Amino acid sequence: MVAITIRDVLILSLCIVVHLSYRKQRRNLLPLPPGPFRWPIVGNAFIIPLTYVHRFYKKLGDGLGSKIVYLEAIGRTIIVLNDINMARDLLEKRSALYSSRPVSPMIHDVIGSKIIFGLMPYGDEWRQHRRIFQQHLSEKHLPQIQERAIEFVRKGLLTNLISSPDKLHDHVRNTIGGLSMSMTYGLPVQRQDDPLVNFAEEVFIKVAGAGAPGKYFINVLTPLIYVPGWMPGAGFKQKGKEIRQQLDRLMEEPYQATVKQMEDGIVTPSFVADALERSTQSSDYELQAQCVKQAALQIFGETTVASVMTFFLVMLLHPDVQLKAQKELDSVVGPDRLPEFSDLPHLTFVSALLKELLRWNPIVPAGVPHMTTEEDVYMGYYIPKGCIIMANTYAMLHDEDVFPEPEKFKPERFISKDGGIREDLPDPDFIATFGFGRRICPGSHIAKSTLTIAVASVLCLFDISPALDPEGKPINVKPEFAPASITSEPLPFPCKVTPRSGKDVHVCHMFSLLAEASICLFQEGNQPTAAVTKIVTHLQDVGNPTWESSKVLHISPARVAVLDCLTFLECLGDTRFLNPTVKIAGVTREFTIPSLPATSATSTLRDFGSSRHLD
């Protein structure tokens, strides 16, 4: 048997050290990717702009003649990828090395938050959160998600656009935020100005700003963390404390409301309720529950709000595109119903419009940064460990070689000669919203479904046109976008949203009345007499002699609304407003009124409303 001496171990250790040192030296001898001149210590910190950094990165790469660019900023190394194939090579094919996230000094050190799933470093905690997402928000749940998205768009966005079109942004925000809150917590949502939705948007705008390179200097000059809070210029520390308090409140309050509902035996399908139910038998239930609480924060949909607002801006700027999409919708959907997800395969131009929408203004234009966990070599260039990798989606989707005239909005660029969607172009659906590799957004199919049905429904019912100044002249709108944020949302702009000529939009008013009656019932705990009277009166006032009884069950938005309201009244069991045979809009509708006491009627309505989440 060969004896191993201390001398042998020392020699072997020395050889390993020399080998690793030589290997590292060889790698360091490789060139870094092209980049601008770097000053000692500060590097390129003072040339990286605080706003519209995605445009700077593209211009820099074009000037260097390179799709990969290297920069440094006070000890932090940054590599920008302006090419989709490079991004796929590194972030997908080598995802084991490129799936972590850099630490944002403002979010991690000042706010002190490590709970936001999308910003977590790659590791066990991130994997645990992602597993929860995949169990409860995977594509197998898409039919239920799409059903709820249709409900919020029809009963929220469309209804509100009829009643108060001047509050466009508020309605979009409340619809998207309300849908997110409903899916996440199963809580009822007000059709307008829901306080929790408003608070969530306020908090996430602050968090997004905290992570953006241009909002706080500490994200560029990390040593500022050591500046005492009382010194001039250290106000970011107090701001971070306030954001953390608001973030904790947003995480805790709706979660506890859902838990309370479950304890009371009221279980509305939602991400939190389903995840907690699944975790009940787990030996580490408390840990699982904490992960569910944290993961729930990720679902609120700021990016979808930005996408929908970009759609309204683009339709305002391009009425010819709007008209072409409306003609396609009219030919496929017809005049007497609203779009369904089953219509989408037949809406080629609308599909192309959606792709061009995400290409023209990528919602996360600079991409969410990745970080290397080990050093690497790519195309002969050395890539350091701990390097920030920016997948510049704006540059990828504005590449003149792939998308000629990239600043122009041209949906037809995605339509092939045979009239289908081109498959040879990079798909903005994935690049602009999904991300790359293991950090691909787990809820992107939800955002895409919501955007799709919102766009199709609005185009079906409304015209989007310029607002008029006091002299009656159209106001010229120049597209401008928020300067310092992770997402690219249009700045506020005036426009008119009016029902299209010949479109029967009273269905939206019926949905509004139905929602009002639901609120009355749950708030007052008794029969909502005034609201029910409104429903009956409105149904009788919208008479349409072309509705024959044999056609009453045809699926059209108006008939669906009528049946919704009738079912509502039937569940109430209130014979003061409903006879066994009722004639509404020229249609005779016969059904039996259940003999229910008030408490049972309330319970029945709650069951009926379990699939209706918008009050």
| pLDDT single digits (tens) 515-558 | 555 445 444 444 445 555 555 555 555 443 333 333 333 334 44
CA-based torsion, 120, 125, 126, 130: positive or negative: negative
The arithmetic mean of pLDDT across residues 53-63, rounded, is 96
Extended beta strands in 306-375, E state: 370-371
H or E element at residue 130: helix 124-137
Residue pair 315/321 in contact (Cβ under 8 Å)? The answer is yes
402 near 427, Cβ under 8 Å? no
CB 122 within 8 Å of CB 438: yes
The answer to whether the CB of 107 falls within 8 A of the CB of 84 is no
What per-residue confidence (pLDDT) applies to 542?
46
Residue 58 pLDDT more than 70?
Answer: yes
pTM, 2 dp: 0.78
Under DSSP, the state recorded for 189 is B
Q: What is the pLDDT of residues 225-251, one digit of tens each?
A: 777 777 777 777 888 888 888 888 988
User: Given the DSSP bridges, would you call strands 381-383 and 76-81 parallel, antiparallel or unpaired?
Assistant: unpaired
> Is 500 within 8 Å of 461 (Cβ atoms)?
yes
What does pLDDT average to over the chain? Answer: 77
> What residue spans define the domains of the chain?
1-29, 130-367+395-499, 506-611
Top pLDDT among 37 and 544 is at: 37
CA distance 494 to 477: 8
Q: How far is CA 154 from CA 149, 247, 545, 589, in A?
A: 9, 30, 25, 24
Looking at the structure, give the CATH architecture of the domain made up of residues 130-367+395-499. Answer: Orthogonal Bundle (1.10)
Mean pLDDT computed over 314-322: 97
Query: Does the structure show a pLDDT above 50 at 190?
Result: yes
The pLDDT value recorded for residue 289 is: 81
User: What is the band of 586 on the pLDDT scale with cuts at 50, 70, 90?
Assistant: very low
Asked if 342 and 450 touch (Cβ cutoff 8 Å), the reply is no
Evaluate if residue 189 carries a pLDDT over 70.
yes
441 is in an annotated binding site: yes
More confident site: 477 or 120: 477
Predicted pLDDT at 393:
94
pLDDT at 583: 40
CB proximity list for 588: less than 8 A, separation 6 or greater: 549, 581, 582
pLDDT on residue 201: 84
Task: Tell me if 137 sits within 8 A of 301, measured CB to CB.
Answer: no
Using one digit for the tens of pLDDT, what is the confidence trace for 355-368? 999 999 998 898 88
- Interhelix angle 444-461/142-152, rounded to 10 degrees, is 40
DSSP annotation of 156 reads: I
pLDDT of residue 360: 97
For residue 139, count CB atoms less than 10 angstroms from its CB and return exposed for 0-12, middle for 13-18, buried for 19 or more: exposed
Structural contact between residues 336 and 558, judged by C-beta atoms closer than 8 angstroms: yes
